[in-house]
């Protein structure tokens, strides 16, 4: 293994977790970007003139995503307009640092790396002042991921509406999607299981009072391993925040994550194999009850019930009634 497997010139700098090949730094950067480009092209994610909002949390995935998309756009001329969209959940000591990293990525003074417009949407402004710190203070350490996830998803739609975006791109990587497949299997969430591996998730628009258009989302990093994203960020010397959410240790997803890491140790291709398996599970058996999509009667957002989950959660928080049914720690 004295030479890179791709260029056969330079000495290898790393072993790719995906296929075990030994590649040099430059070849790794090139092939990583090329694979993302192939994902974009083969799935026809972009079209000229689109406004694309990059969901940026300041973490490694979204930071790498923003940099890769900017470089690919310059190289292949996608003809799209990128902007950064960040959600402030209101977690002191965690979100502050990551938002600062997003601002540096966007190019706010004093640095100017990407020069992208940045829109920050906060939970406090959208959900009657309910930041995650306040939510955890009210309900405790269990079940808070449910609130954060529901609020953040709707906040992304609202932020994208402000940017007049046609598409939201998120930094979900192969590890995230494999974890989601496992988690949905363990929790019996058939509806999510049949769509969680889709690279583009569409949700229909809506008509009605307080109408909020729902923007499609895609995952260009769907086949990128988390380890390779870390290596890319390291080689490119990208500025990101690497800390975990302070409220995440009790999340059910943690069990799936630990299991996935063990599987990856036994067979590195297990992550892509799980995604491949999840892609095959695209339909539910006839007669299985699945939620039907409608519109929230309060805010107009897409919802599988009369009142959307976000409005229900806000209502419960306001009345200090926290039922156990939304406990994120227990499988349904």
In the complex, the residues that contact another protein under the rule CB under 8 A are 5, 16, 19-22, 181-182, 184-188, 190, 193-194, 255, 259, 262-263, 265-270, 272-274, 276-285, 288, 330-332
Does 96 belong to an annotated binding site?
no
Q: How far is the CB of 281 from another protein (least distance, A)?
A: 5
Peptide bond into 85 cis (omega under 30): no
What tokens does 266 get?
A: 């036994």
Does 133 belong to an annotated binding site?
no
Does 175 belong to an annotated binding site?
no
Give 51 or 195: the residue with its C-beta nearer to another protein.
Answer: 195
Give 203 or 277: the residue with its C-beta nearer to another protein.
Answer: 277
Give 9 or 273: the residue with its C-beta nearer to another protein.
Answer: 273
Q: How far is the CB of 285 from another protein (least distance, A)?
A: 5
**Within 10 Å of residue 100's Cβ, how many Cβ atoms?**
14
HSE at residue 263, side-chain half, CA atoms within 13 A, is: 16
Does 66 belong to an annotated binding site?
no
Q: Check if the beta carbon of residue 101 is closer than 8 Å to that of residue 63.
A: yes
Give 39 or 57: the residue with its C-beta nearer to another protein.
Answer: 39
Give 237 or 332: the residue with its C-beta nearer to another protein.
Answer: 332
Q: How far is the CB of 210 from another protein (least distance, A)?
A: 35
Residues 6+ apart with CB under 8 A from 297: 306, 307
Q: Check if the beta carbon of residue 99 is closer than 8 Å to that of residue 120.
A: yes
Q: Check if the beta carbon of residue 211 is closer than 8 Å to that of residue 226.
A: no
Give the integer Cα–Cα distance in Å for 269 and 180. Answer: 17
Does 191 belong to an annotated binding site?
no
Q: How far is the CB of 20 from another protein (least distance, A)?
A: 5
Give the integer Cα–Cα distance in Å for 7 and 68. Answer: 22
CA distances from 30 to 72, 150, 161, 185, 244 (A): 11, 36, 34, 35, 29
Give 153 or 187: the residue with its C-beta nearer to another protein.
Answer: 187
Q: Check if the beta carbon of residue 190 is closer than 8 Å to that of residue 284.
A: yes
Q: How far is the CB of 232 from another protein (least distance, A)?
A: 18
Q: How far is the CB of 195 from another protein (least distance, A)?
A: 12
Does 13 belong to an annotated binding site?
no
Does 205 belong to an annotated binding site?
no
- Binding-site residue numbers for ATP are 55-57, 61, 87, 171, 176
């Amino acid at each position: 293994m004295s030479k890179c497997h791709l260029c056969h010139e330079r000495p290898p700098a790393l072993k790719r977790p995906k296929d075990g090949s030994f590649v040099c730094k430059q070849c790794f950067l090139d092939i990583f970007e090329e694979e993302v480009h192939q994902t974009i092209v083969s799935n026809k994610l972009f079209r000229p003139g689109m406004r694309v909002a990059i969901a940026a949390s300041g973490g490694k995935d979204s930071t790498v995503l923003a940099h890769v998309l900017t470089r690919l756009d310059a190289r292949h001329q996608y003809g799209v307009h990128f902007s950064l969209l960040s959600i402030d959940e209101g977690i002191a000591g965690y979100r502050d640092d990551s938002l600062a990293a997003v601002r540096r990525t966007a190019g706010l003074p004093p640095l100017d790396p990407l020069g992208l417009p940045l829109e920050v949407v906060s939970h406090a402004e959208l959900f009657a002042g309910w930041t995650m710190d306040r939510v955890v203070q009210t309900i405790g350490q269990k079940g808070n991921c449910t609130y954060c996830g529901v609020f953040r998803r709707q906040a992304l739609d609202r932020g994208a509406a402000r940017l007049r975006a046609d598409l939201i791109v998120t930094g979900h990587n192969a590890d995230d999607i494999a974890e989601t497949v496992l988690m949905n299997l363990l929790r019996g969430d058939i509806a999510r299981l049949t769509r969680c591996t889709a690279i583009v998730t569409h949700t229909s628009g809506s008509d009605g009072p307080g109408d909020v258009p729902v923007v499609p989302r895609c995952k260009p990093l769907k086949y990128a391993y988390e380890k390779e994203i870390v290596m890319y960020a390291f080689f490119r010397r990208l500025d990101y925040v690497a800390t975990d959410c302070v409220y995440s240790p009790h999340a059910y997803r943690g069990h799936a994550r630990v299991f996935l890491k063990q599987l990856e140790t036994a067979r590195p291709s297990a992550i892509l194999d799980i995604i491949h398996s999840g892609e095959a599970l695209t339909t539910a058996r006839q007669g299985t009850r699945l939620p039907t999509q409608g519109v929230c009667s309060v805010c107009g957002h897409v919802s599988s019930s009369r009142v959307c989950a976000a409005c229900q959660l806000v209502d419960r928080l306001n009345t200090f009634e926290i039922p156990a049914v939304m406990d994120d720690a227990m499988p349904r």
